[in-house]
Chains A and B, each alone.
Chain A
Amino acid sequence: MSQPKRRRINVRMPAIGGQGAVTAAHIMATAADHAGYYAVSNPFFGAEKRMAPAESYVRIGIDPIYDRGEVVYPDVIMVFHSQVITMGKSYTMPFYSGIKKNGLIIINTEEDLLTDRDHEYLESLNVKVFNFPATKFAMEIAGTELATNMAMLGAFFGATQIVGMDSIEEGIKARFLKKFVASGGTMSLDSAIERKFKKKLELIEKNINTAKAAYEVAQEWARDQGMEVWLPKPQEVAKV
């Protein structure tokens, strides 16, 4: 089924405080920025934090982006935790409220969490649902559930095909390396910092591997679904 030409993807990430949805949003936007798109990311949270609902948002497009704040009408929803659905830990009820036609929902789950009515409604809008066990995936590849956000990130880019792994790697490195180098200096890294640095590099590598594996799985899934690339390439737009 052919999809309308999009100029913008608005992403909503309902998650649980502590899962790293804010980090995922920032890396997603950085990767998109690296690939030449306009991109903006922002979190929204209350004062409650861990295990409470936390949401972050990313807007990626081929035109300048002015829009700020919560994404009320998303093209893509990424559900980081089953409790978003099963316990209503979401800023909106149902969690897919506002989803646009031809949209996409990625849910971190091993089993289907939606009711028949949910499926019926989403199908009526031609919204695709991708059940993807991101936490299980993170455990297997990175050896920690903390990499769940990297798996979700990889799944998003794999499904939408708007940027390649090089930009994702760049986004991850920018998030975890930049500040360290800026404050650590290059002249006198003592052995303690070196060990820390080595640990950091290992962490980055694990994160990249997780995102990459998820990217490939989602790419495969999107191909099976007959999905096309979600945005024109930025340079293609520039030529017009």
Chain B
Amino acid sequence: MQKTEHVQYNRAGQRVVSPDYLLFEAPREKQFMTGSEVVKEAVKRASVDASVSYPITPQSEAAHLIGELWVEGYVGVYFRGESEFGVMSEIAGCAMAGARSITTTSGPGTLRAMENFPMWAGSRLPIQLVLMARGVNSPLSIQPDNLEMSFLLDTGCMIWHAENAQELFDMILAGFVVAEQPDVHVPLITAIDGFFISHTREAVMLPPDDIALPPYNPYKSPMVPLDMEMAPGRFLRDPYVMKSNYISYAAHTSWQFEVRAAIERSRPYAKHYLRGLIEEFGDPEAEIVFVASGTAAAQAKEATLMLLHEEGVKARVVRLKTIRPFPTQELIEALRGAKYVFVPEFNVIGWLEREVRRALYGNLDVPVIGSPRVAGGMTMPPEFIVKEILQFLGKEVKHVV
């Protein structure tokens, strides 16, 4: 019997292909573009149904470009919310109606919208938020600083942290696929460090734009779309909050555990589509190890090369691609043999250092040094990292420059 090939097209007339084909097999061509432009390119290939926007530096351009896609017919619904709180509420409505939804925000916008993120997670909405991290008040800053990511760690959303424009592109596409798995089905925050990625122009490899992800199937949601009136989440009408009794408290508790368990269940999917939850860079034998994510990891890589070529010091980088779920086992394995673990960060509190310490405690005995750390828009030049390492090791700082 001859098989008939069934070709499917999405709303925009793009040929629907498998996520694996789009991410790993489709031929790619080099483009030279900014992180904001890359968001547009990813959304263009993601069969997105809805996006809501609100301007705030540094994500305004990305939000605007998604609007251009709506004009061109690639995005089903697009409008501007009243504020970030409005945006995150309205995008929840879109997702409840069964739409594949994406939005973007930054810094103070994230904080204004905060109440909505645990609501998304509890409602099991696989919304994707592209977070272009910047400083939060006060003093007011528009510059890169990822303190806001620490506020999001326990909202029940998955959190991934992209290192560059290429990874942001791939993560946005992989993100929908992972977040929409029926046994996962929680929101995803795809974070980057603002300006360092959003406004930086670099080479990226993109698949053709006439192919796209399969459209979202809301009937695979673990919660019945729209009204959420069925067990287990009878959240809108006649909700638990109206009943002060043991079973409603117990249901609330177990649901919170379930949301976290759903994040845990995302591991195998994330591992496949991101090609591992961590990336190891540099000499695998090196005893000096940087554990970092996002732009801090990029700076650590540059410093690792500088340490090797200019100072003869061996170092390596363990880069975390996912923060929620936290790649605990991968990290412990990667840090065997490490003598010192440095955690460079672009925020004042060192949230990643805390996370690393918690993961290692009782598992691996190695000193963790929360350094170097900059914030508020400061750059972390690799020369500066090299200097910190040499000083720590008691080595002579000859010529950093």
Which A residues fall within an 8 A CB radius of B? 26, 29-30, 33, 38-44, 46-47, 63, 65-70, 72-73, 98, 100-101, 174, 183
- State the CA gap A41–B301 with chains docked (Å): 18
* Contact in complex: B144, A26 (CB < 8 Å): no
Quick check: is B152 within 8 A (CB to CB) of the other chain?
A: no
B382 at the interface (CB under 8 A from A): yes
In the bound complex, residues from chain A placing their C-beta under 8 Å from that of B200 are 40-42, 68
Contacts of B295 in A (CB 8 A): 68-69
Could you say which residues of chain A place their CB within 8 Å of the CB of B57? 47
Q: How far does the alpha carbon of A173 sit from the alpha carbon of B9 in the complex, in Å?
A: 34
Partner of A33, one of B32, B380, B384: B32
Q: Identify B142's interface contact among A46, A65, A68, CB under 8 A.
A: A46
Q: Would B32 and A174 count as touching, CB distance under 8 A?
A: yes
Decide if A69 touches B142 in the complex (CB within 8 Å). Answer: no
The answer to whether A42 and B301 have CB atoms under 8 Å apart is no
Q: Smallest CB-CB separation from B304: which chain A residue?
A: A66
| Closest chain A CB from B291 CB (angstroms) | 16
A100 touching B379 by the CB < 8 A rule? no
Query: Are B382 and A38 in contact, CB atoms less than 8 angstroms apart?
Result: no
6 A-B pairs with the lowest CB-CB distances in the bound complex, closest first: A69-B379, A42-B200, A70-B379, A66-B298, A68-B196, A66-B301
Complex CA distance for A44 and B379, rounded to whole angstroms: 11
B residues touching A (Cβ–Cβ < 8 Å)?
A: 32, 57, 68, 142-144, 193, 195-197, 199-203, 295, 298-299, 301-302, 305, 379-384, 401
- When the two chains form the complex, which single residue of A41, A46, A63, A67 contacts B381, counting CB atoms closer than 8 Å? A67
Q: Which residues of B contact A29 (CB under 8 A)?
A: 32, 201-202
> Are A69 and B380 interface neighbours, CB within 8 A?
yes
Which of B298, B305, B383, B401 is the one whose CB lies under 8 Å from A68? Answer: B298
Contacts of A66 in B (CB 8 A): 298-299, 301-302, 305
Q: Is the CB of B202 within 8 A of A40?
A: yes
Q: Which residues of B contact A42 (CB under 8 A)?
A: 195-196, 199-201
> How far apart sit A41 and B195, CA to CA, in the bound complex (Å)?
11
**Considering residues A42, A73, A183, which has the most beta carbons from chain B within 10 angstroms of its beta carbon?**
A42
Give the residues in chain B near A47, CB-CB below 8 Å. 57, 142
- Report how far A98 CA is from B32 CA in the complex, Å: 29
Among A26, A65, A72, contact of B383 (Cβ-Cβ < 8 Å)? A72
Contacts of B196 in A (CB 8 A): 42, 68-69
Cβ of A67: which chain B residues have Cβ within 8 Å of it? 298-299, 302, 381-382
| Known contacts A68-B295, A69-B295: A40-B201 contact under CB 8 Å | yes
Q: A174 — nearest CB in chain B belongs to which residue?
A: B32
Which residues of A have CB within 8 Å of B203?
33, 38-39
Q: For B384, what are the chain A residues with a Cβ–Cβ distance below 8 Å?
A: 72
